[in-house]
Amino acid sequence: MAKFEDFKYVRTIDCRQGAVRAVRYNVDGIYCLTCGSDKKIKLWNHKTGLLLKTYGGHADEVTDARSSCESSNIVSASLDKSIIYWDVSTGAPVRRLRGHAGGVKCVCFNEDSSIAISGGRDNAVFCWDIRTRRLEPVQMMREAKDCITSVLSNENKIITSSLDGCIRHYDIRAGELTVDKVGVPITYLCMTRDEQCLVAACQDSVVRLLDCESGGILSEYRGHAADDYQVECGIMSNDAHIISGSSNGSAYVWDLLEGKVLQNLEISE
Amino acid sequence: MTSDVDVHKYGTPLPLLEFDEVVPTKKPVYAQDQIATDDQGRRRFHGAFTGGFSAGYWNTVGSKEGWTPQSFKSSRSEKASGRVTQRPEDFMDDEDLGEFGIAPKGLQIQEDYTGPETSKEQRKRKFLQCDLKAIPGEPVLQQLLRPVKDKVSVRILKSWGWRPGQGFGPRQTRKEKKKARERNKKELYLLEKYGCDLPTNSKTANDTDDDDDDQDDGDDDSEEDDITFAPEDFEPIPYGLKEDRYGLGYKPLSRHSVLGGSNQSSSSVAAHKEHINLFKPLEMMGKNNQKISFAGQAFGVGALEEDDDEDVYATDDLTRYDFSLEDKKKPKKSKKALTPDELIFEDFHIDLKPDKPLEYKLEIPFGWQPRNWYEKRSRFEPLDPRTQRQLEKKFAKPQDTNADEGEMTRERRAELLGEEIKRKEEETKGNFVPPSVVKPSIAELQRQQKERQQKTQDLMEKISAKSSNFTRGGIITIEGEEKAAPPLTAEEISSAFKPFANDNAKQKRYEQFLAANLQNDHEIDDFLENIQPIELSLWDRQMEKKEFVQAKKIYRPLKGIMSDRFVTESQVKAEQKVAEIEKDPSKPIVVERSKMMWKPHSLLCKRYNIAEPFGGLMEDEKKKTKNKSKMSVFDYLETSVNKKEDFQTPVIIPKNVEKPQELVKQQTSDSANVTEEKEEGTVNLEWQDVLQGKTKATEEKSSFVFKPKTDLEKQVVESMDKPITEKKELFKSIFSDSESDGEEEDNSKPGQQPTDILNPLSKPLNAAAANLLRNNSPPRGIFKALFNVPVNNTTESTKSEEEKPQLKLNEVVEKQNDIEMKEPAKETPKQIETTKILFQPKSSREPKENSNSTFTSSLPSANTTELYGPSLPSNLKANDNTKTSASSSTSAAAIDAKLLELFNKHKPSARLTEVWVEKSSKRNSSDSDDDSSSSDTSSSSDDDDVKHKKRSKKSKKKKSSEHKHKKHKEHHKSSKKSKKSDKKKKKKHKKK
């Protein structure tokens, strides 16, 4: 069990992007991407606070962005119903993929960044082949009954969470869809390193640890407030601590096993 | 008389008429005959006043070619530069830009134009005192920086009528002006000349001036003096400080050498060496040994001097100099100036005793504050105190005289509403303690809520009951009695609303009255009499008393009822939160897991580097949708049943096998033979549909043992069999040699027909559940003939019934086999454990067929209940029992081996079929035999039962035919197999 060291404040980066919708590290964590409500994505060196590049081309707020495994491309989702595949160095949009009937809320790459998976407000999850110039999605998954809040993918699964309270595992290898109905709208989903568990931020101000195999709830983490915000959660790389945002502007860190709050990070008012 | 020269001509003169020329008779051109033309003489017939408002090209657009829209081009590589600027002129014609057009392009004088001197260069006065400064010329900074606006002084002057270029002072007559000019000139002259030089040409210059003046004077003589002019603008003469003792304006040569260095006159050596030093006073020895020295710049006239005309030898006219400070011209001027007498009209005279000089004393209004009105001011700046006061006065309410009553704060409102000041406490607490801690307990809240509800309910009742006398103004308590208000405390009184706030004395009395809390009318009278001032009239007293009594009733601090009715927001929120929290623990979240089939796209699999599940044989959603998109007549026939989603394959509930998690089945829907389709075309399809529907309908009603109860069911069953019989009839009619012959023919040629037609029946039967929409009424018209069952066919039908189970079984098994069919069939039934998908060798069905064919007739046995769906015929059961119950695996294996042989004979190749996904999550993996058999039994039992009944009704005829039929069926099976294999091939081809 890794010993928990309190998070310390290091730096504030003023993005000047209006509301920042998402912040994502790249693969090796050297850079980070911020998605602003000013329709732009900014690439930062978070260690120095240096703005490296701004990617503009979306027509509405950018909701999510991910960088590819070799950090040469970015895929971003926006409320303008499109996702854009960017070239990092030139800053030019390589491909703009339209297909969602509503704003796109989340996007991710598969492991080798050959497929982009996006989920949107139109309750659909689309898989886009970005290796080819095809502009239609490779696959559409329309099982969800409500807005898709996050998508994940590992080497053989696509996992989506939706506001209809379900987590859907699309197992490509087995060709089956497993629906775990939690019953509470899920605002964010992330996976543990060992891919055994899912951490789901629920609308009822509880972060739940779910078992991938059985679908059962392993643990619940309380103390923060989700309210009506789309609060994200995460798990530390050592799989020992869970962190989640809170609507009161702070972040909470829990111990994964014991479920007690280890730290309350006051981030903003 | 004025000469022609004096007349100013305006316009072009008419040509002079010759006397002998005949004056052309002028016909007046009437208005209707007048033509409006434009500059080019083109006719324009509209625009009445300016001679034509021409519109484009002959009143169309633009030019002869028409109007061409401006092109806008912007590509990704070449972006259009900015916005295309279009001016209104682009859309105008030439005439519009002319003098009379709507947008004249001519030069116009601006409003505030006054003259050439308004130009910026001229606006500032030039100063002459350049030489007084170190750097000559106009200061550079002043040249660079020019004020945008005129100075205030200039603006004021302008508003007084001054124009740039004019001088200041009273207006002058011409003469005065001339003199002033002269004088100024002289001064200037003196300044310029005598500042450095001797006045040489002053006289001549003056003379010329005088000549001009004389001329002017001659002109002026005729004019009167009352025309006054603005005085000329003279350059102010700069005066420098006098630092030396030379004469006025005299500037000696500088003693310093131009070339620098020290050249002192005292050093004689140096002097000898030097040439004549021009800058030294030239010393000459005069006649009388006098030393004459000349010094100054005035010495000599250079050849290069510009002024050649200068009279070098002219002596300076001393008249130019004023020898005293008295002004010679003054008397003249004063003469010219109008005396006061002249100014006075006849009837007026000067007041010889003027009043003491007027003292101008401005009375500045109190509180007046100077303000520069040119300075812009934000309206958000604080008002100046006076206006603020005025505004306050204006908007102040009369009752607001009491300071504490003036503003209604939240606390005050809360007080008035009788609300405890909870809010503050909560606010203070809320920051540190989570709200859940602060909240009152749920039980308490609930109790309060109940009480409140109770109260309001009661109150409503009472109010409605008392509505007649509700206006009395008393307080209805919760008890319902309108009891006198309780006496108010002093604090309450002070905090209560003050109805007589505008009259302090009255208010005080009122407060006293309240404090006394008198009930009795008489007492009130007495009390008021004591406190009321004497000067109040009796009527006033009475009025006041009434007012007080009224006010007391009306204005009471809100307590009791009102406080019950209103709830603070914080309370409400607290309740909500309690409710939320309460909800949570009561319903612990249990994750429900469900699984279903999902087909990933092949490309997706490729990208994920994963082999497609089931070799890509899963049902494709896209295909489904594609199929749906095609409209066909049969879409109407297959209502809800034939959609794959609606199919529910039979759910097997075996006794000995534990329930698996999921049941996935792959089944074929290819009941229709290709040949059959070819023969019968679309009609056949219809037939299948109909048959399916019927069987399904019947199946739905039957629980385990099928017993047709209603006529409809019977009909349905009959109708199922008809095709065969009908076919037979048909063939008979065609080849009507004899019965036996006909049947032979039947067997030989369309041997597979009956089974073909029965094939649809062998589809999963409970899929028919929903097919109630189908028209089950007995056939009419043409179809009646088709559906009529000849009596002698019953036996045949019974046989077919018996065989049906097998067929169905086959079908189901086949479906399950489909995937495996690709590979060579294996002896043992293959099962995939994890995926729980059934794979059964085709051989498994063979033995049953064979064995079944040997059985003649049977009744459903009791042990059918073991199985799901309609029961098997007893003979089959028996067979099953012997096989499965005793040692299902071994015996089945043995039979399988046999069947495999058979199968291999007939099986040319594997075939592809569609995949069926079962919706229900239950799935049987282990008992493929049971599964198939049960599905068989379901259909077979149906048929059996029906047929049994029929048999009982009708005499058993045509045993031979029955026999034949059996044979025929066997035959058919083999042929069917071959056909199926054909089909498989075809499908494979299609897929490829």
B249: its two tokens: 């304006």
Residues B377-408 pLDDT 10s = 666 766 667 777 777 777 765 544 444 445 56
Residues B40-62 pLDDT 10s = 776 665 555 555 555 666 666 66
Cβ–Cβ below 8 Å for A175 and B592: no
Residues A110-166 pLDDT 10s = 998 999 999 999 999 999 999 888 889 999 999 999 999 999 999 889 999 999 999
For B164, B250, B337, B840, B887, the CA distances from A77, given in Å and listed in that order, are 69, 91, 93, 48, 62
The band of B969, judged by pLDDT with boundaries at 50, 70 and 90, is very low
The band of B974, judged by pLDDT with boundaries at 50, 70 and 90, is very low
Query: In this model, does residue B134 exceed pLDDT 50?
Result: yes
Chain B contact for A250 (CB, 8 A cutoff): no
Cβ–Cβ below 8 Å for A179 and B594: yes
B593 → closest Cβ in A110, A127, A180: A180
B303: its two tokens: 């050849």
Q: What is the mean pLDDT of chain B?
A: 59
Chain B contact for A8 (CB, 8 A cutoff): no
pLDDT of residue B651: 52
Give the distance from residue B622's alpha carbon to the nearest chain A alpha carbon, in angstroms: 10
Query: In this model, does residue A178 exceed pLDDT 90?
Result: yes
Kindly state the average pLDDT of the residues B895-923.
57
A176 → closest Cβ in B596, B601, B612: B596
Which of chain A's residues have a Cβ under 8 Å away from the Cβ of B605? 172
Sorted by sequence, the CB contacts under 8 Å of residue B226 that are 6+ apart come out as: B173
Query: In this model, does residue B545 exceed pLDDT 90?
Result: no
B559: its two tokens: 């307590």
For B266, B279, B851, the CA distances from B253, given in Å and listed in that order, are 18, 7, 154
Who wins on pLDDT, B731 or B74? B74
Chain A contact for B605 (CB, 8 A cutoff): yes
Name residue B876's amino acid: L
Place of tokens 């790249």: A26
Cβ–Cβ below 8 Å for B598 and A173: no
Cβ–Cβ below 8 Å for A115 and B604: yes
The band of B547, judged by pLDDT with boundaries at 50, 70 and 90, is confident
DSSP characters over A118-129: EEETTS-EEEEE
Task: Tell me which chain A residue has its CA closest to the CA of residue B602.
Answer: A138
Which of chain B's residues have a Cβ under 8 Å away from the Cβ of A210? 591
Give the distance from residue B646's alpha carbon to the nearest chain A alpha carbon, in angstroms: 18
Residues in chain B: 992
A172 → closest Cβ in B593, B595, B608: B608
Task: Tell me which chain B residue has its CA closest to the CA of residue A157.
Answer: B608
The band of A230, judged by pLDDT with boundaries at 50, 70 and 90, is confident
Cβ–Cβ below 8 Å for B601 and A138: yes
Give the distance from residue A112's alpha carbon to the nearest chain B alpha carbon, in angstroms: 8
Cβ–Cβ below 8 Å for B591 and A170: no
pTM for this model (two decimals): 0.34
Residues B580-628 pLDDT 10s = 655 555 567 788 888 888 888 888 898 888 888 887 777 665 555 555 4
Report residue B707: phi and psi, to 5°.
-135, 105
Cβ–Cβ below 8 Å for B613 and A110: no
Task: Tell me which chain B residue has its CA closest to the CA of residue A206.
Answer: B584
For residue B978, the SS3 value is: helix
Mutation for testing the B interface, residue in A172, A177, A211 having most B CBs under 10 Å: A172
In DSSP terms, A23 is beta-bridged to A34
Who wins on pLDDT, A61 or B351? A61
The domain segmentation of chain B, as residue ranges, is 26-58+85-106, 493-581
Count chain A–chain B contacts defined by CB atoms under 8 A. Answer: 91
Cβ–Cβ below 8 Å for B600 and A115: no
Chain B contact for A172 (CB, 8 A cutoff): yes
Cβ–Cβ below 8 Å for B604 and A215: no
A175 → closest Cβ in B590, B598, B603: B598
Mutation for testing the A interface, residue in B432, B607, B645 having most A CBs under 10 Å: B607
Give the distance from residue A48's alpha carbon to the nearest chain B alpha carbon, in angstroms: 35
B607 → closest Cβ in A115, A175, A181: A115
Chain B contact for A266 (CB, 8 A cutoff): no
The band of B713, judged by pLDDT with boundaries at 50, 70 and 90, is low
B604 → closest Cβ in A112, A127, A176: A127
Complex-level ipTM: 0.91
B618 → closest Cβ in A111, A129, A175: A175
Report the C-alpha gap between B556 and B475 in whole angstroms: 10
A172 → closest Cβ in B589, B600, B835: B600
Cα B172 off chain centre by: 72
The burial of B361, by beta-carbon neighbours within 10 Å (0-12 exposed, 13-18 middle, 19 or more buried), is given as exposed
A172 → closest Cβ in B595, B597, B605: B605
Sorted by sequence, the CB contacts under 8 Å of residue B660 that are 6+ apart come out as: B836, B922, B923, B924, B925, B926
Cβ–Cβ below 8 Å for A110 and B607: yes
Chain B contact for A127 (CB, 8 A cutoff): yes
B813 neighbors B933 (Cβ within 8 angstroms) = no
B548 neighbors B500 (Cβ within 8 angstroms) = no
Report the C-alpha gap between A78 and B348 in whole angstroms: 94
pLDDT of residue B74: 81
